[in-house]
Amino acid sequence: MSQKPKIIVSVTLPPDLRDRLAASCDIIDVPVGQRPEEVLSAETRAQVSGMVCTMKTKIDTGLLEALPALTVSSNFAVGFDNVDVAAATSRKVLICNTPRVLDGAVADVTIGLMLCLARNLVAGDAFVRSGAWTKGAFPLTRDIRGKTLGLLGMGRIGRVVARTAQAFDMPVIYHNRREDPEAKGLATYVGRDELFKTSEVLSVHIPLSAETRHSVGKRELSLMKPTAYLINTARGPVVDEAALIEALRAGSIAGAGLDVMEQEPLPASSPLCELPNVVLQAHVGSATHETRRAMIDLAVNNLLDALGGKQPVAMVNPEVWRARA
């Protein structure tokens, strides 16, 4: 019988990484988004000690009970709202993720959405393609230079957005649970309401949790200027989408740039698809060849390190690792 650890792979791996994993582990493939407890036999599940998966795998009590020998699960994502971290920690299952390597790519989409909204670039493209230009000029748009950028959340991605915004001469303000010493000289800390009231562009950079779900709601949107744009490249459910649609329809804010939505993939029947003051992307913040490669490298390294007894680079619940030592 093989002595290699058995691992679930529920992510598409580049061939070289698959070979690397196969050299030291027995791979059990589970199609992305399918629940291991539904597709694997109890006998197989009982032997699984590691897993690498996407956000589509819900790591909850049901899954943890179905994989009693699991010691580590490595998320191919920086976000981990697919994981019940408390349940994993209490079962001593180490959770790993992929921070840092995607900060620049997500910040780029944030800035891109901001430019698309203020300069109406998506409508401008359609205007030229349709021949409308031959009948008249495209309507004037708005500058982002000099406008105040507000960041709800100042973590790794928020800091890169703030640095990039400096090149656009944008004063940056932010609100966090705590003032961030690393943001000194980059952005000014303000109260939460002041952030919504003052920002010309308000960009969301907080993780999804029970506390942050719908934390940008009717009240917050009503504080915003009618000229302001909301950008969300974090997680859809942080924003109350029904309240956002209402604000966009009423013109109480100028527009929204969304890379994430409450329901993904977003159906074409969503009212968001009807609104002219919205720019939509398909949750592609980190979706470049370079960044996704760096993420999968990190996810696989985290898994192999943990299985091999070496401290992984990125752990969500490091207390599990410390307890092992």
Which residues here bind ligand GLV, judged by CB under 6 A?
77-79, 102, 286
Residue 176 or residue 291: which is nearer to ligand GLV going by CB?
291
Those residues with Cβ within 8 angstroms of residue 36's Cβ, 6 or more apart along the chain or in another chain: 8, 10, 30, 45, 48, 51, 57, 63, 66, 67
**What counts of helices (H) and strands (E) characterise the chain?**
13, 12
Q: Which residues pair with 9 in a beta bridge?
A: 29, 52
Q: Which two tokens stand for residue 231?
A: 């950008």
| CB 56 to ligand GLV: min, Å | 11
Active site residue 264: yes
| CB 284 to ligand GLV: min, Å | 9
CA distance 13 to 8: 12
Type of residue at 322:
R
Q: How far is CA 107 from the centre of its chain?
A: 11
Residue 242 or residue 282: which is nearer to ligand GLV going by CB?
282
Active site residue: 45, 159, 175, 283, which one?
A: 283
Residue 78 or residue 201: which is nearer to ligand GLV going by CB?
78
Active site residue: 45, 235, 241, 292, which one?
A: 235
Residue 98 or residue 198: which is nearer to ligand GLV going by CB?
98
| CB 313 to ligand GLV: min, Å | 15
Active site residue 205: no
Q: Which residues pair with 152 in a beta bridge?
A: 175, 204
Q: Give the torsion sign (CA, 162, 55, 80, 243).
A: positive
Whether cis (ω within 30° of 0) applies to the bond prior to 265 is yes
Check if the beta carbon of residue 172 is closer than 8 Å to that of residue 207.
no
| CB 263 to ligand GLV: min, Å | 15
Q: How far is CA 318 from CA 5, 144, 296, 321, in A?
A: 22, 41, 20, 5
| CB 308 to ligand GLV: min, Å | 24
* Cβ-closest position to ligand GLV: 79
Active site residue 235: yes
Residue 25 or residue 154: which is nearer to ligand GLV going by CB?
154
Residues taking part in catalysis = 235, 264, 283
